[in-house]
Every structure is written in structure tokens, then in C-alpha cells.
Structure 1
């Protein structure tokens, strides 16, 4: 009997393994990816084939006072069905009915209930169970004795098995690769002869079949929470908003939100928090958000978001001048263009290495009055309301001042009041002055000389003679100028072409001497003189006797009574 029990058990295990391998192969052909996790069922209904191998005997009393002992045989044909209701993912209650008829009044029917434990894994569900109930058991039937009638008695079952999830209809079907149980039966057939006795067989039961799954007790997905900061980088004083996004919340429950952060105060009790960064130092900050709809696992979640407070950036400034080159005394406009990265208010100031600069806005004026020729450096300064500064420079070139236009120089003056008889004669007293005139002319070889003769106005006289004396005065002034030029040419060797003669209106008996440098204009510098026509006024020798009163047709009339030295 033991050999038959082992042989049958081996057959059942081989069949179960073959079916499991075939199902696995079929599943593998249906998809090359990892199979999705099957839902955890609420109710499992099992229907299948069952093999029963009892080990035990019945001692039946005989009429002759002896006892006949007969042993149970294995029952190859059987059916089994069970319903398991799970309270959670792992524990449930189970009822089971199994029928193993033999046809010889020695079969067994069981109806039991108990507890079942399962351990779902990917694609497989191992389980163990313990059952208690009743068994309707018949006795062994060996002719010529009468069969023992079916009798109800207690039954106990302990065992386990392995279910394989089939990839059909969202894993609602499974294959029970095997269910292996040990069962204990007790039956009391009574004291009757031929049909009495007691049976206490221990049974090995092997089953396989199809599992149909109903319902779903997979726990809801855990609450998830994600946070984000906007913006992620700010300057002190700029607001930051933290937004939390929760998923897998139960719409029937009310979620609560809280915010926290090290060194950060977050206001708000909803999924949005606000941060005032005015008092925050530059650096990185982390804010933690918490959402909860209950106290159980999976009913709350945390999230974090980061933001950065940047240090205020200093302003920048550029500086330009227009025009960049000026003449001495002219002005230039200085333009400063300041930029604050945070649009802070800016204040401008200026300094100049020469001249004066004025202005407080983004433009200023550089005055070069009194500044020497060359480059002037102008510094443009800007400061924001946080005390951060920036500077930039520009240059203005002051042109070299042109040399002043040459001017006619006044030299010495010679007098003609000593020789009353020869009022136009250049006497010895004039030598010192004219030596100096000649020396100036020699030093400035490109200069010219102008000698201007003058005469004093005569005393009042009748009108009929006034015109005659005025004409004589003009002639005397011209003669004095011509005589002075003659002295400079003959006595001092000055080229006659360098000397011009003119008459003036000073009303004095003298000759004024002028040095006219190259580029100077005598008529501009000295006004009121008249050029002498040297073709009509001839020079007089210094030793010539005094001239008589003779009317000449010349432009010069010597004064009456002029004498020579």
C-alpha cells in the first residue's frame, strides 16, 4: 500500500509540474516583458481533481468471535472544491468539499472549514491551510464480508499548495499546480458483527485544478506628493511660491497640508505655500511639504523643493564723452549709462582730473576752462540703494592752444622839439632810440618797421592862413618820418624795404617807431595813420642848412626857421 501511495503521489506531482511548465511557456510566448503584478483577489474558488491515499484499517468482529482486520486502499478518482474568502492580502477563511467515491462502499466525503494563509508573489501564490469538519467514510470491503456502511465522523486537514496565475482576463484565472494535504479521519461503525469496528486512517491527499478569482483587496496606491518652487532663484525681497501636487488621494477624505523649512518661514495651509525672502541671507534653502489624509501607512507623503537666494549683484556703468576732443575752454557732455541687474535705483557722481565737471544725473558737463592741453580723465561713478558701487572712465583731449597772433610792438619815440630851425632833422638825441629800433629789427629778421611822423598843432590863427599851416604840418610830419627811415637805412644798415613811413595824429613833435612781426597787421593794431608817398617826400641830410620859406609842390613843407646842427 505504501508503494502505491508513493507512486500515486509521484504521478500527481509530475502532472502538476508539467502543467505549470506548459502554462509558464505559454505566458512567456504571449509577452516578452515582465508580466504585470496580478491583483490580489478577495475570493478564490477552486475546482479540481483529487487523489486520496488513506493509511489505516478496520478491525471487524466476526461471528466466531474472531476479528478480521482490513486496510483501506487508495482512491484514484475524486473531486474537490473550495471557496476561500480573504480578509486581507494574506489571511482568509475557507470551506471545502471533497468526494472520493470508490464504488465498493469504501469511499470518503469530507466537508470542512478553517483558515488559510497565502503569500502572493509575482505570478505565484503559495498557501497553507488548516481545516476541521466531518467525513462520511465507508469501510474497506473485502469479500466475502459485508461492507461497512457509510458513517459520519470528525475530520482534520492540514496542508498547502501553489497557485500559478494565468495571464487571462486580468489574471482572474489561476492553475493550482498542486495541493498536498494530510487528513485524519475517525469513524465508528459500531459493535455489529461483520460491519462494526472503528477506523482512524491518516490520509495523503493530492489535488490539482483551476482557480477562479473574484474581487480585489489590493490596497490603494500610497499617497504621493511632489513639490516645486517658483521661481527657483531670487534676490532678497522677491517672493517664492511653493506648489505641492498630491496624487492618489481618497476623494472621500479631507487632506491636510503643512509646510516647514530650516531658516525659512512658509505661510499657507493648502497645497500652496508662500515665502518672504526679504530677511533671508544669500544661499540655498529647502522647504518640506507634508500631506496627510489619515494615520495609516500610505495615507501621507512628504516632498521637498529647493530655491536659491542670490546676493545682490553690483551695478555696472559705462562712460562716454561727446565730443571727445575739444579746444581749450570748450565743453564736453559726459554720459554715464548705469545698469543694475536688480533694477535698483542708482545715483551718479563725477570727477575730472582737470577742468571742472558738473552734473548729478546720468549726464554731466566738463568745462575745460583753465585746463592745460592734453588728456583729461573723467570718472563716472554709480551707487545703488544697497551701497554697491561701480566706476568707469572716459577721456577728453584738449587741443594745444594756437600761439597768440603776433601783434605790432611799440618801440621808442624820438623828439623833434630841440632844433627850431630844422624841425624835421634827426638830431643826436635820437640816436639812442634809433639804435634800439635797429637792434630789434636785426633780431627779428622777418619783421618790418613802421615809423610814424607827427607834428604839434600850431597856435590859433586867422582862418585864411589855417589851411596853409595844416598843409605844412602834414608835410613836416611826413618829412620827419622819411628822415627817420633814412637814418635807419644809412646809419644802421636796415633794408629800406623793411621800413614803412606814415603820418599820425598824436599832435606831438615826434616820430613813433613800431616793430611789426611776421603775421601781424599794422593797420589792425595801430589805427589813425596815413601812408607817406615817398616819391614826393625826399630825405634831408642831417647836416643840411635850414630851409628857406619856399613854396614847394611837395607833400612836405619844412617848418620856418629850421636850422641844422
Structure 2
């Protein structure tokens, strides 16, 4: 009888150990990658277990005999059985369980149990150990050792205590598991009655081993872990400026009281709430990190840390910009210089000024530049600013002193030619005028954008017989002189006719006055009292020389 019990039990234990070792190896490999994730992974709400079960009872039935004696008959192991159970979990660890197991072995030799109780599980990564305690009933048959006795199936109380180990299989989103083993101790009691050969009582202790599949339904989602973030404001300061660090915790349990703390290497943080104050007075320039901690318990996920960084800056020098108004002045005028200084730490500032020419005076952020005595051109003004720590900055601006305006071009008076030599042709340009007109032509050639104005004049003619007034003059003689002069300059000197204007004047002399009019000059503004000549009615006369008069006199004398 004992060999029937030990051999199957040994086989089941060996299989269970082998599977357990393999699963443990697999569990060790997976846990190394995410050792903390499994404890927080969702666990099932309902577990259904179905599988094979082996029952090894240990007990006897004292059966009364006809001769007044009793016969002791022992229970033997039942190698084949089935088991099914369902567990509903109220939380991650505790649930209620119902179970049915059937171990048949003939008509009058077997056990069927129906029980319910409590189950405790301990979810790990990929593994779930459990223990349970059950109570219920057993339908127990007596040992079937005929012809000595026969005991019909009888219901009695049953108690079970044990535990096991489930392994999560990677199928159906981990909804399937393998129960590596379930090892239980069971106690059965059965009263077969007082009948002879059919009665007696049985108190049986049983070892039960089971294995099979676990089907998982629903989820018990663990509470999310506490998360903590923190920020400093401002995150960049100068020594002595205050900084506030604020922590924000999420997923806190409102039924628990959270506690806060702050720390930092080389940093003093005051405060025991979600807000702290950082003292920067003694900190050297550089970057610093402050760490916050929040906790509401000692369990995983009930505390969290956060870090935030801030920078202590070196004191910065001031900056300055410089401007002039107006930026362009006439000689001797003044310009207002404005300096705009900025200190990043709002330090008091002082201002000074220098100028490359002229004189500058003033204090504060404005000064006056005087350009008296300064030459035309650009004057550079330098604006200097200094804070109370001796840090300085400079900026420049320029003021343009305009050059005096150039005088407007004027009409230039050139030479004058006379018409007193040839009494018979008083408008003829004779050879004596060549020197003057050559100079006029040279001036016109040098100033290609200038024009020439030729002004003819005439003196009153002497009184002659037949004239009523002594001061009468030959009509158009002044205009003819001007036209003849222009013709000489055009034909003899090659001056473009469009550059020469002819006019008459009122000087009362027998001459032609020549003028050079530069570009931009206005002749009528510079020389008044002249009249334009209508060149369509006054035509130029040729410069042919007269035959000598003394030839005629010599011929007449020879005839005499």
C-alpha cells in the first residue's frame, strides 16, 4: 500500500520540481530587465483552475463483523482524479475560493469534495505563490476489500489547507497560467453507520497533489505610483537674489498625509512643504541642483523624488547706447547727445563724454556738443558709463558738420573788342579783335558746359548834314556787331552756335562785350539792361578787306 502511495507521489514531485526550476530560471531572466515592474503589473480578478489531482489518503475503517469482532481496512491511493476551482479576489492579495475535486476508484472506493474558503496570493513578476484554507463536505466511499466489507458512499465533513505556485504563460496577453503544483493536506470524516460489515467510522488524513492550467479574467489594477516634479523660479539669478522651488506631486492618496523635504549639495533650502526657499547669498557663480522628496508611506510607489537646476550668474557690466539729435548740423550749431545706460543688476551709473572735435559739456545721461570752431566733417562722440563696482562700458555716435554751401556760379566778364578802326565798315570784326576772341574761344572750350553771351553796343554817331539829331545811330549797328562776333567764333574758332547768345546793350560805346555764363548761372540776373537780338532778321556780314584807297590816287597822278 505504501509503494502505491510513494511511487506516484515521487513522480509528481519530480515533475513539479523540474517545471519549477525551469520556470524559476525563466523568471530570473525576465526579472533582470525590469525588476520592479512586476510588483506593479495588473493582476487578475478571477482565477479558474482545472487539472489533474492525485490523492493519497491515510486512514482505516473499523468495520463490525457478524462474529462480534471488527475488521480494519485501510484506504489506498487514488492515482487518477480531477480538480476544478474558482477564486474571486477582493484585492491584490485576498480572495474567496470554491473547489470541487473528484477521485474515483470503483463503486465504493473514492472521494468527492466540495469546499469553499479563503485564499491568499503573493503576485511576483511571472510567479504567484498562494495558500488557502477550505471547509466543506466529502462524499467518501469505504475501502473496497470484499468479501470482508463494503461501505457505500457517505457524506461527511472535509477540511483542506495548503498552497501552490502559479507560473504566468506568455499567451492570450498573459491570461493563461500553469499551476506548477498545488499541495494540500485534507481531513475527511465519514460515519458509515452501525451495520455489520457495512458500518463503521473513518477519519482519514490525505495528501493531495494537483497540477493544471489557470485561466485568468479581469484586472485588479494597482494604484499608480506617486510622481513628483519640481521647478525653480527664477532659474537664473545673481548672488543674493531669492529663488523659490515648487514641487508638484500627483497620484497621492487623499486618505494619507504626504510629507515633503528638500536638499541640495552646497545649497541651503528652507521649507517642509511642497514649496521651498533657496538662499543664494553665499553661492559662487555656477550651476546648482536642488532635490525634492515626497512620501506618503513605505510601500513601493508611495514616494518619489524630483530635481531642478538653477544658475547663479556672475555680476555683469553695464551697457550703453549713444545717440545724437540732430545728427547733422551747420558749422557752429549744437547737437544734444543722449546716453542710455543699463545695468543688469540695476546698479547706479555715472556718465562722462569725449568728442573728437568741438566742445562737449554736461553730466547725467545727456550732454551738449558745440561745433564752434570745428572743421566740416564727422565728429565722433564717445559716451562712457560706469557702475558702482567699477565696471564700465562705452558707446559712440557721430555728428556730421556740414561744409559751407558753395557760392552760386556767376557770369564771368571776358574781354571787349572795339569797332572804332574801320569807319566805312563799323560792324566789321577786324584783326585787332582776334586776340580777344581767341581768348573767348579758349574759355568756352575749357568750360564745355558753359555758354557765351555776346553783347553789341554802339556810340551815338557824330552830327552830319541831313540828320536832325546829333545822337542818332545807324539802325541795328549794335546787333550787327554782335552777330558778326558770333559768326567769327563759330566759323573761325569752331564754337557751337547753340552755345552763343547775341544781345544788345546800352553802354554807348563802339564795342562788343563778351561774357562766359557757367552752368547754373543766370545771365539776366548778373548783367542787366541787355536785349536779345532776332538773328532771323540780322545776318552775319563777311570779313572781306577793302581795296587800298591810295592806288586810285597814284593812277590819277600818272594821267596828269
TM-score computed with the length of structure 2 as normaliser: 0.52
In structure 2, the residue corresponding to 1:58 is in which secondary structure?
strand
Contact residue 262 and residue 292 of structure 2 kept, 8 A? yes
Once residues 260 and 73 of structure 1 are traced to their aligned partners in structure 2, the CA distance between those partners, rounded to angstroms, is 69
The alpha carbon displacement at 1:285 in A equals 8.1
Note closer, same or farther for the CA distance 1:169–1:13 as it changes in structure 2 (3 Å cut).
same
Once residues 226 and 245 of structure 1 are traced to their aligned partners in structure 2, the CA distance between those partners, rounded to angstroms, is 5
Note closer, same or farther for the CA distance 1:391–1:235 as it changes in structure 2 (3 Å cut).
closer
Does 2:391 align with 1:390?
A: yes
Contact residue 317 and residue 391 of structure 1 kept, 8 A? no
Note closer, same or farther for the CA distance 1:11–1:32 as it changes in structure 2 (3 Å cut).
same
Encode CA deviations 1:262-308: one digit per residue, 9 max, x unaligned: 97799xx9x9x79899x96766887777889x899656756453434
Contact residue 318 and residue 392 of structure 1 kept, 8 A? no
Which of 330, 340, 348 aligns to 2:351? It is 348
The alpha carbon displacement at 1:313 in A equals 3.1
Contact residue 23 and residue 166 of structure 1 kept, 8 A? no
Note closer, same or farther for the CA distance 1:388–1:98 as it changes in structure 2 (3 Å cut).
same
Encode CA deviations 1:318-350: one digit per residue, 9 max, x unaligned: 99xxxxxxxxxxxxxx99997745575631247
Of 48-57 and 282-291, deviating more is 282-291
Contact residue 184 and residue 203 of structure 1 kept, 8 A? yes
Once residues 300 and 28 of structure 1 are traced to their aligned partners in structure 2, the CA distance between those partners, rounded to angstroms, is 26
Q: How does 1:31-430 map to 2 (within 5 A)?
A: 37=38, 39-235=42-238, 246-248=249-251, 303-310=306-313, 312-315=315-318, 340-342=343-345, 346-349=349-352, 358-360=361-363, 382-384=385-387, 387-390=388-391
Match of 1:515 in 2: none
Contact residue 55 and residue 72 of structure 1 kept, 8 A? yes
Note closer, same or farther for the CA distance 1:264–1:351 as it changes in structure 2 (3 Å cut).
farther
Contact residue 163 and residue 175 of structure 1 kept, 8 A? yes
The alpha carbon displacement at 1:361 in A equals 5.3
In structure 2, the residue corresponding to 1:147 is in which secondary structure?
coil
Contact residue 280 and residue 309 of structure 1 kept, 8 A? no
In structure 2, the residue corresponding to 1:120 is in which secondary structure?
coil
Note closer, same or farther for the CA distance 1:391–1:80 as it changes in structure 2 (3 Å cut).
closer
Once residues 98 and 63 of structure 2 are traced to their aligned partners in structure 1, the CA distance between those partners, rounded to angstroms, is 33
Note closer, same or farther for the CA distance 1:227–1:179 as it changes in structure 2 (3 Å cut).
same
The count of corresponding residues between Structure 1 and Structure 2 is 360
Match of 1:454 in 2: none
Note closer, same or farther for the CA distance 1:233–1:116 as it changes in structure 2 (3 Å cut).
same
Note closer, same or farther for the CA distance 1:22–1:6 as it changes in structure 2 (3 Å cut).
same
Contact residue 50 and residue 205 of structure 1 kept, 8 A? yes
Superposition RMSD in Å:
5.1
Once residues 19 and 223 of structure 2 are traced to their aligned partners in structure 1, the CA distance between those partners, rounded to angstroms, is 33
Match of 1:15 in 2: 15
Once residues 291 and 156 of structure 1 are traced to their aligned partners in structure 2, the CA distance between those partners, rounded to angstroms, is 47
Q: How does 1:488-527 map to 2 (within 5 A)?
A: none
Once residues 179 and 155 of structure 1 are traced to their aligned partners in structure 2, the CA distance between those partners, rounded to angstroms, is 17
Note closer, same or farther for the CA distance 1:52–1:162 as it changes in structure 2 (3 Å cut).
same
Note closer, same or farther for the CA distance 1:78–1:390 as it changes in structure 2 (3 Å cut).
closer
The alpha carbon displacement at 1:39 in A equals 2.7
In structure 2, the residue corresponding to 1:15 is in which secondary structure?
helix
Contact residue 380 and residue 391 of structure 1 kept, 8 A? no
Once residues 31 and 278 of structure 2 are traced to their aligned partners in structure 1, the CA distance between those partners, rounded to angstroms, is 54
Once residues 259 and 226 of structure 2 are traced to their aligned partners in structure 1, the CA distance between those partners, rounded to angstroms, is 13
Once residues 259 and 26 of structure 1 are traced to their aligned partners in structure 2, the CA distance between those partners, rounded to angstroms, is 40
Of 182-191 and 79-88, deviating more is 79-88
The alpha carbon displacement at 1:134 in A equals 1.8
Once residues 137 and 257 of structure 2 are traced to their aligned partners in structure 1, the CA distance between those partners, rounded to angstroms, is 52
Note closer, same or farther for the CA distance 1:171–1:235 as it changes in structure 2 (3 Å cut).
same
Match of 1:532 in 2: none
Instruction: Name structure 2 gaps, 5 residues minimum.
Output: 323-336, 371-381, 395-560
Match of 1:5 in 2: 5
Match of 1:463 in 2: none
Contact residue 241 and residue 281 of structure 2 kept, 8 A? no
Contact residue 257 and residue 289 of structure 1 kept, 8 A? no
Once residues 180 and 257 of structure 1 are traced to their aligned partners in structure 2, the CA distance between those partners, rounded to angstroms, is 45
In structure 2, the residue corresponding to 1:200 is in which secondary structure?
strand
TM-score computed with the length of structure 1 as normaliser: 0.51
Contact residue 230 and residue 241 of structure 1 kept, 8 A? yes
The alpha carbon displacement at 1:225 in A equals 1.4
